[in-house]
Chains A and B, each alone.
Chain A
């Protein structure tokens, strides 16, 4: 396996210089691996993991999960509709689901009004959308693998032990 991909899968937050040291390659080689992963559309991009409930990070203060039921299109199935829907800037992630509905859509919006407008004006008016069910996120306990309030402290650990 690509050593850089292996490192990315571990979910650390290393710079390319640090990655180079860990996998024992030059920084240029790490860059090359990253470029290749981008070309292969395995590595899509970087995103910071923020605690969006903090005022400083309140750019996207409202987050919602929307269950969407669709009528599959002749020829395109769910895919064409899902891809169309995913293009909206408000949509952070979009998944085809098994079970009681077809798509699960994660939406970010700066205000409640804007989130509501997205659902009523953009999403539900899209051809093929049968119904939507919107759930607003109230509080986050874990984001992208990080515990929101840190929690797992090790500051009491001894500095020198046998």
Chain B
């Protein structure tokens, strides 16, 4: 039955490859109950701070169970506007330049659906988050991958952009700091990218979900650079910095006509984000900064620990300037990323994700998430060391 049912699947969906993460997820799932330490997750190990959870409970107790404005609660949009001004130095009007979405994932999907005509070309740096290329394909756009390299700490360079550019490029998708590499760009590098975008008249979609988790230096948003706010959609959310992945709540800020176009798609597809998650997000913005700082300090120490251990073990690893991912190379020990990840899982029961799940430029690397307690991280590093020793013999 299943084979004949396939004829109803749209051809552009049928041709979409499954996420490489999914294959690995199933391999790990088969080992349930076997003391697997997972460095394969893409989310904080912290539970959402209690005062934020309490705000959601209170909202339910008060009977807040209805739709909100399509754009999201005005109180939340005001709080977002204040937060973005304070932390990123860009001003957005709560009335028509901010939209609350179901995670950054929805915001990104809205962007592609609102701005991408069939055949339009979208540039994005790679290795990158798993959904970028498929989301572009789903709107019949063409993704143009721009490589980033370990030698640059996986920062995107204007030179690489220039080399990859072809006529018809309309959008540049950025994710800095980056999942899976932890790479980011400093102000000077961003200015060169901004210059390139102005020159080629590109619209920038800037997913800055990991920005609060910047350990070295300060985060700069491309939207804050001269002449960029008018051509940038600033995408952000609560999942990573506030440990709120399961709430599915994010937002987009940008020029009013662009937010209005996104709102059209959003109102017919999602209507609005969950009011309960919006209430929790409001509490997070109003009273959660201390939690963010505490969690960032923890990630910072964990980063230093795993990067030091990986390099000692022989897995060459740059120090990620942001995010909670290390992206060590397996080439120095003469293994492919797949052999390493599968072997490590089977022999030592530590899960990491092969870099190729994040695009071909992830070849020879694995992603190891350090959003895990010290005890677990130390045991995981000890196991990885044992595996590498065994592989050398």
Q: Judge whether B305 and A160 touch: CB under 8 Å.
A: no
CB closest chain-A residue, reference B375: A18
By the criterion of a CB under 8 Å from any partner CB, how many residues of chain B are at the interface? Answer: 31
Q: How many pairs of residues, A versus B, come closer than 8 Å at their CB atoms?
A: 58
Interface string of B366-393 (1 = CB under 8 A from A): 0000000111001001000000000000
CB closest chain-B residue, reference A12: B374
Q: Judge whether A154 and B45 touch: CB under 8 Å.
A: yes
Interface centre among B24, B41, B374 (most CB of A within 10 A): B374
Q: Judge whether B305 and A24 touch: CB under 8 Å.
A: yes
A157 contacts across to B, CB distance below 8 A? 41, 43
Q: Which of A10, A14, A24, A159 contacts B41 (CB 8 A)?
A: A159
B289 sits at the interface (CB 8 A): no
State A157–B353 Cα separation when bound (angstroms): 16
State A12–B378 Cα separation when bound (angstroms): 14
B163 sits at the interface (CB 8 A): no
Asked, given contacts A22-B305, A24-B308, whether A161 binds B374 with beta carbons under 8 Å apart, the answer is no
B309 sits at the interface (CB 8 A): yes
State A162–B353 Cα separation when bound (angstroms): 9
B45 contacts across to A, CB distance below 8 A? 154
Asked, given contacts A160-B21, A160-B351, A162-B131, whether A18 binds B40 with beta carbons under 8 Å apart, the answer is no
Chain A interface category by residue count: 10 to 19
B129 sits at the interface (CB 8 A): yes
Interface hits, A1-40 → B, CB 8 Å: 10, 12, 14, 18, 21-24
A12 contacts across to B, CB distance below 8 A? 373-374
State A23–B300 Cα separation when bound (angstroms): 11
Asked, given contacts A18-B375, A22-B301, whether A159 binds B29 with beta carbons under 8 Å apart, the answer is yes
B275 sits at the interface (CB 8 A): no
Q: Judge whether B304 and A18 touch: CB under 8 Å.
A: no
B131 contacts across to A, CB distance below 8 A? 162
A160 contacts across to B, CB distance below 8 A? 21, 24-25, 28, 38, 40-41, 351, 353
Interface string of B106-134 (1 = CB under 8 A from A): 00000000000000000000000111000
B36 sits at the interface (CB 8 A): yes
Interface string of A126-154 (1 = CB under 8 A from B): 00000000000000000000000000101
A158 nearest CB across to chain B (Å): 7
Q: Judge whether B43 and A161 touch: CB under 8 Å.
A: yes
CB closest chain-A residue, reference B179: A162
B245 nearest CB across to chain A (Å): 8
A159 contacts across to B, CB distance below 8 A? 25, 28-29, 36, 38, 40-41, 351
Q: Judge whether B47 and A21 touch: CB under 8 Å.
A: no
Q: Judge whether A162 and B21 touch: CB under 8 Å.
A: yes
Q: Judge whether A162 and B129 touch: CB under 8 Å.
A: yes
B359 contacts across to A, CB distance below 8 A? none
The 8 closest A-B pairs by CB, nearest first: A160-B40, A160-B25, A159-B38, A161-B42, A162-B130, A159-B28, A162-B21, A152-B47
Q: Besides A18-B378, A161-B42, 8 other CB < 8 A contacts?
A: A12-B374, A14-B375, A18-B374, A22-B301, A24-B305, A159-B351, A161-B25, A162-B130
What are 26 inter-chain pairs, A to B, with CB distance below 8 A? A10-B298, A18-B374, A18-B375, A21-B309, A21-B378, A22-B305, A23-B301, A24-B305, A154-B45, A158-B25, A158-B41, A159-B25, A159-B29, A159-B36, A159-B38, A159-B40, A160-B21, A160-B28, A160-B40, A160-B41, A161-B25, A161-B40, A161-B41, A161-B43, A162-B42, A162-B179
